[in-house]
C-alpha cells in the first residue's frame, strides 16, 4: 500500500483535468441500452470504469477499447447471474436496477464499502414496489429478480444514485412513474435527465417523474473534464495565490456550483447538498479562511466510500484544525495547519483533500493509502508536481 509524502509548496499554471467518472459510466450505460454502435471518446481510466464495463458486458453489451476510447455494441440482455462492482457505488446502483428487469435472480456484490456503506435499500424498496424482488443478503450483497409488473414507485432520494438508476431502468420499462421524496443532490439527477433529453427520450416532472421509454440509437459522445476533480487543484492554487488555467471546463456537472462558492468570500454557512462530494475540500478551505465556515445539509456524505464528515474532522484535527463535527456537516474555524501522519480511509476524495491541506500546512505530511486517488485522478501527483507541487510516493 503506497503512501503520499507531501511537502509545502505553491500550485499554479496550466492544467488538463481527467475525464468525468460519472459521465463515463452514464455513457457506457446508455450505450448498452442503445441499438447499434456507440462511440465514447475520452473516457476516464479508472477501476470503476473497468467494473462498469464488466457490468455492461454481463448485461448483453460488448465493449471494444481503442486508442480513442470505447466502441459499444448495445443490446440489453441479462447474461450473468452475478456481478462484482469493486468500489463503484454508481455501477452498483445502475447494474442493480437493470438486472432487476430480468426474470432470474442476480447478485450484485462489491468491496467492504459497497457491502457496508453505500445505500441500496431505497432502490431495492422501489423494485419491490414495482413487482420485482430486491433484498440484501447476509453477506451485504444485493440480490434482485424481475420482471416488474407495476409502473409506479416512491423512492427516497437523499442519495441521488438510486434515483438515477431507476430513471435509467425506465428507459427499458416504458412509462415509469417515480415519486422522489427527501430529494437531494438534485444536480446529479438533472445530469441523468439531460442524457434522456440528449437521446430523444421524453420525460416530465411534476409530482411524479415520468419516463417514457423508447428505443434509442447508437450515439457519439466525448466525455468532458471532471468538475469534481477540478476542486482540488483549484483550491490549492487559490491558497497559493497563483493563477490556474484549466482546459475544457464543462459546467453542466453536479459539482460545478463550487465555482460560484469560490468567486468571492466564502459564505459563513453553505448548504452543500447540491455538491456533496465537495465536503472534504471545503473543509480544508475553511481551515485557511478568515472567518468561521459552517457546512450543512451534507448527511449523505457519511454514506460514501467512508464517513467523510467524521474522517475529515479526525484527520484535520491531527494537523491542528479547529473543527467541530455536526450530524450533517461541520463547523470550521481558521487555524494554522501543520504536517502530520494521516489516514484517508481508502477514500479518493479524502486523500485528494488531505493532499491540498498538506500542500499548505507547515511541515511535511504523509497520507497513508493515498493510492485510492486513482479511482478518479490517475496521474494526480505528476500533474501537481508540474504545477509546482512537491509530492512523492513512498512505501
Alpha carbons 230 and 248: distance in angstroms, whole number: 11
Tell how strand 329-333 and strand 341-343 pair up: unpaired
> In this predicted structure, what is the pLDDT of residue 245?
93
Q: Is the pLDDT of residue 255 over 90?
A: no
Q: Could you state, in order of their start, the residue ranges of all structural domains in the chain?
A: 3-18+225-394, 21-217
> In this predicted structure, what is the pLDDT of residue 28?
98
Measured torsion, CA atoms of residues 63, 65, 71, 77, in degrees rounded to the nearest 10: 0
> In this predicted structure, what is the pLDDT of residue 158?
92
Alpha carbons 41 and 71: distance in angstroms, whole number: 9
The residue length of the chain stands at 395
Catalytic residues: 277
Please give the grid coordinates belonging to residue 57: 458486458
> In this predicted structure, what is the pLDDT of residue 184?
87
> In this predicted structure, what is the pLDDT of residue 339?
98
Neighbours of 200 (CB within 10 A): 11
> In this predicted structure, what is the pLDDT of residue 261?
81
> In this predicted structure, what is the pLDDT of residue 265?
63
> In this predicted structure, what is the pLDDT of residue 264?
63
pLDDT tens digits, one per residue of 175-184: 899 999 999 8
Alpha carbon of 148 to those of 144, 255, 261: distances in Å?
A: 11, 34, 43
DSSP string, 273-306: GGGGGGHHHHHHHHHTSSS-EEEES-GGGGGSSS
43-70 average pLDDT score: 96
Q: Is the pLDDT of residue 213 over 90?
A: no
Q: Is the pLDDT of residue 308 over 90?
A: yes
Q: 252 pLDDT band (50/70/90 cuts)?
A: low
pLDDT, mean over the chain = 94
**CATH T-level fold of 21-217:** UDP-n-acetylglucosamine1-carboxyvinyl-transferase; Chain (3.65.10)
Asked, colleague to colleague, whether 3-18+225-394 and 21-217 share their fold, the answer is yes
Query: With pLDDT > 70 as the criterion, what percentage of the chain qualifies?
Result: 98
> In this predicted structure, what is the pLDDT of residue 214?
83
Picking from 96, 84, 85, 83, the residue whose alpha carbon sits closest to that of residue 127 is: 96
pLDDT tens digits, one per residue of 309-363: 999 999 999 999 999 999 999 999 999 999 999 999 999 999 999 999 999 999 9
Q: 90 pLDDT band (50/70/90 cuts)?
A: very high
Superfamily (CATH) of domain 3-18+225-394? Enolpyruvate transferase domain (3.65.10.10)
Q: Is the pLDDT of residue 262 over 90?
A: no
Element (H, E) at 235: helix 227-240
Amino acid at each position: 500500500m503506497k503512501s503520499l509524502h507531501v511537502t509545502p509548496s505553491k500550485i499554479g499554471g496550466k492544467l488538463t483535468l481527467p475525464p468525468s467518472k460519472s459521465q463515463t459510466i452514464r455513457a457506457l450505460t446508455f450505450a448498452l441500452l442503445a441499438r447499434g454502435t456507440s462511440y465514447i471518446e475520452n473516457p476516464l481510466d479508472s477501476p470503476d470504469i473497468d467494473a462498469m464495463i464488466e457490468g455492461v458486458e454481463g448485461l448483453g453489451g460488448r465493449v471494444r477499447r481503442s486508442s480513442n476510447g470505447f466502441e459499444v455494441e448495445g443490446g440489453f440482455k441479462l447474461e450473468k447471474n452475478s456481478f462484482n462492482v469493486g468500489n463503484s457505488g454508481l455501477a452498483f446502483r445502475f447494474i442493480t436496477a437493470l438486472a432487476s428487469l430480468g426474470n432470474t435472480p442476480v447478485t450484485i456484490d462489491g468491496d467492504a464499502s459497497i457491502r457496508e456503506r453505500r445505500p441500496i435499500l431505497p432502490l431495492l424498496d422501489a423494485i419491490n414496489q414495482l413487482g420485482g424482488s430486491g433484498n440484501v443478503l447476509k453477506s451485504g450483497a444485493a440480490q434482485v429478480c424481475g420482471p416488474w409488473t407495476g409502473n409506479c414507485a416512491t423512492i427516497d432520494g437523499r442519495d441521488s444514485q438510486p434515483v438515477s438508476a431507476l430513471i435509467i431502468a425506465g428507459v427499458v420499462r416504458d412509462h415509469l412513474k417515480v415519486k422522489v421524496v427527501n430529494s437531494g443532490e438534485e444536480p446529479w439527477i438533472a445530469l441523468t435527465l439531460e442524457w434522456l433529453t440528449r437521446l430523444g427520450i421524453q420525460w416530465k416532472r411534476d409530482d411524479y417523474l415520468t419516463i417514457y421509454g423508447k428505443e434509442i440509437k447508437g450515439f457519439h459522445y466525448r466525455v468532458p473534464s471532471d468538475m469534481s476533480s477540478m476542486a482540488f487543484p483549484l483550491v490549492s492554487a487559490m491558497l497559493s495565490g497563483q493563477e490556474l488555467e484549466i482546459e475544457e471546463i464543462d459546467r453542466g456537472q453536479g459539482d460545478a456550483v463550487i465555482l460560484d462558492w469560490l468567486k468571492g468570500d466564502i459564505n459563513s454557512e453553505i448548504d452543500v447538498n447540491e455538491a456533496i462530494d465537495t465536503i472534504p475540500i471545503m473543509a480544508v478551505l475553511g481551515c485557511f479562511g478568515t472567518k468561521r465556515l459552517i457546512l450543512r445539509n451534507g448527511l449523505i456524505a457519511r454514506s460514501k466510500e467512508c464517513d467523510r464528515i467524521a474522517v475529515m474532522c479526525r484527520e484535520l484535527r491531527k494537523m491542528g484544525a479547529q473543527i467541530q463535527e455536526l450530524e450533517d456537516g461541520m463547523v470550521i474555524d481558521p487555524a494554522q495547519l501543520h504536517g502530520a501522519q494521516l489516514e484517508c480511509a481508502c477514500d479518493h476524495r479524502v486523500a485528494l483533500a488531505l493532499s491540498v491541506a498538506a500542500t499548505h500546512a507547515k511541515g511535511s505530511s504523509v497520507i497513508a493509502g493515498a493510492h485510492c486517488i486513482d479511482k478518479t485522478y490517475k496521474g494526480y501527483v505528476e500533474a501537481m508536481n508540474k504545477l509546482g507541487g512537491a509530492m512523492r510516493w513512498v512505501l
